[in-house]
Structures are given as C-alpha cells and as structure tokens.
C-alpha cells in the first residue's frame, strides 16, 4: 500500500513539475515576443503585427480613443496637416497608426475608420487589453478610465498626448508632444528622413 502511495506521489510531483516548466516556458516566449517588438493587433485587414520586421517604415503611433471629444481630433488633424505639406517620397517612409486605448468599445475597424476621417494614409488598430497595456507601458503612455455620471457614454479615457516615432522593431526613436501646429510633426519627419539618408 505504501509503495502505491509513493508511486502516486512521485507521478503527481513529476506532472506538477512538468506543467510548471511548460507554463514558465510559455511566459518566457510571451516575454521574448514583447522584447522583440511583436504586437499583434487588429486593423482594417484583420490581425497584423504592428512591428512587422519586413516593413521598414517608421511608425508614427498616436494613442487615443474614438469617442475622444477634443485632444484626439486636434492631434490627428495636426498630423494630417503635416502630411498635407510633405511629398510622397517622404510620406512613403512612414506608417501612421492610431492605437485605441479603449479596446472595450473600439474594435479594429472602428479605430481604422476613425483614423481615415483625418487622412487616407492613416491606419487605426485595436489590441487586446493586455497588448494595449503593454504598448502603453513601453512608451510611457499615461491613461485611465474615468466614469461619467448621467452620460450615455458611461466613461471616458483620460490620456496624455504624444506622437511616438518608432522603428519596425518597436524601438522608440523620438516623440513629439501635443501641438496646435503641424510644424513640429513635419520637422520631426523631415529630420528623420534626412538622418536615414546619411
């Protein structure tokens, strides 16, 4: 009888240890993907890797949400203003992406449609809550949900406002703070374009 119990305990321990190793390995894979810049999000054309290594364009990430009453529309209008002042050769080196901070309400197609109101070259994406939190943490995006009493919207998202210029591995190159003029965005784009030529 004691031999059987010993065998059961050994098998149970072995299974528990093997299970722990498996899940630790899965967590390590997820961590490595995050470190390598992988960010699977949903856009207008389905699931994409925001940091596709085959796409060398510099990403211009803007974090907001489609129900934003003022800051997001103003910022995307400024980005559009910068785009309207630059030639195609310059613009082809950039990938402007609106990333929603409200994946609970904004789906990928919603974010994309919203971005298209401002410029036909803009894309919009939505990630899972986990991916959204990871991206926000990576670039220092500060945001929080604020409940709205007696409002059909139920809640809003308070957030800071920056344009993050990021390479195709997810590494931050530079960022431009909220602006009421397209000029700082345009200047950053021209500078990075010039740097790439040198």
pTM to 2 decimals? 0.81
Q: Are residues 86 and 180 in the same domain?
A: yes
pLDDT tens-place string over residues 33-77? 444 456 899 998 899 999 999 999 999 999 999 999 999 999 999
The secondary structure of residue 63, as a DSSP letter, is E
Write down the pLDDT at residue 73: 98
The secondary structure of residue 69, as a DSSP letter, is S
Q: Are residues 32 and 108 in the same domain?
A: no
How open is the CA angle 75-102-67, to the nearest 5 degrees? Answer: 55
Instruction: Report CA 17 to chain centroid distance, whole Å.
Output: 36
71-78 long-range contacts, CB within 8 A, separation 24+: 71/159, 71/161, 71/178, 72/98, 72/161, 73/118, 74/178, 74/180, 75/161, 75/163, 75/178, 75/179, 76/115, 76/117, 76/118, 76/119, 76/122, 77/118, 78/179, 78/180, 78/181, 78/182, 78/185
Question: In whole angstroms, how far apart are CA 99 and each of 38, 87, 145?
Answer: 15, 25, 16
The rounded distance, in Å, linking the Cα atoms of 188 and 27 is: 37
Write down the pLDDT at residue 39: 85
Domain that holds residue 128: 40-197
Q: Are residues 66 and 131 in the same domain?
A: yes
Q: Are residues 109 and 183 in the same domain?
A: yes
140: left (phi > 0), else alpha (psi -120 to 50), else beta? left
Q: Are residues 146 and 179 in the same domain?
A: yes
Q: What's the number of domains the chain is made of?
A: 2
Phi and psi, residue 63, nearest 5°: -100, 125
The rounded distance, in Å, linking the Cα atoms of 84 and 77 is: 10
The rounded distance, in Å, linking the Cα atoms of 180 and 71 is: 10
Q: Are residues 83 and 21 in the same domain?
A: no
Per-residue pLDDT tens, the chain, 198 aa: give them.
455 555 545 545 545 544 444 444 434 434 444 444 568 999 988 999 999 999 999 999 999 999 999 999 999 999 999 999 999 999 999 999 999 999 999 999 999 999 999 999 999 999 999 999 999 999 999 999 999 888 888 899 999 999 999 999 999 999 999 999 999 999 999 999 999 887
The rounded distance, in Å, linking the Cα atoms of 150 and 44 is: 33
Q: Which of 14, 41, 103, 40 is nearest to 67 (CA)?
A: 103
Write down the pLDDT at residue 194: 92
H or E element at residue 188: helix 183-197
Q: Are residues 12 and 59 in the same domain?
A: no
Q: Residue 50 in contact with residue 60, Cβ under 8 Å?
A: no
């Amino acid at each position: 009888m004691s031999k059987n119990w010993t065998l059961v305990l050994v098998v149970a321990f072995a299974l528990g240890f093997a299970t722990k190793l498996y899940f630790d390995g899965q967590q390590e894979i997820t961590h490595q993907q995050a470190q390598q810049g992988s960010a699977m999000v949903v856009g207008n054309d389905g699931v994409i890797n925001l940091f596709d290594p085959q796409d060398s364009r510099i990403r211009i990430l803007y974090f907001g949400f489609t129900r934003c009453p003022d800051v997001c529309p103003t910022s995307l209008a400024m980005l559009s203003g910068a785009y309207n002042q630059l030639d195609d050769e310059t613009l082809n080196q950039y990938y402007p992406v609106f990333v929603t901070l409200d994946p609970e309400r904004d789906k990928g197609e919603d974010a994309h449609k919203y971005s298209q109101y401002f410029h036909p070259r803009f894309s919009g994406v939505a990630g899972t809550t986990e991916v959204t939190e990871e991206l926000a943490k990576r670039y220092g995006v500060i945001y929080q949900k604020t409940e709205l009493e007696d409002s059909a919207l139920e809640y809003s998202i308070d957030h800071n406002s920056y344009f993050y210029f990021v390479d195709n591995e997810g590494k931050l190159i530079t960022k431009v703070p909220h602006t009421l003029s397209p000029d700082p965005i345009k200047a950053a784009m021209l500078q990075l374009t010039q740097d790439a030529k040198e």
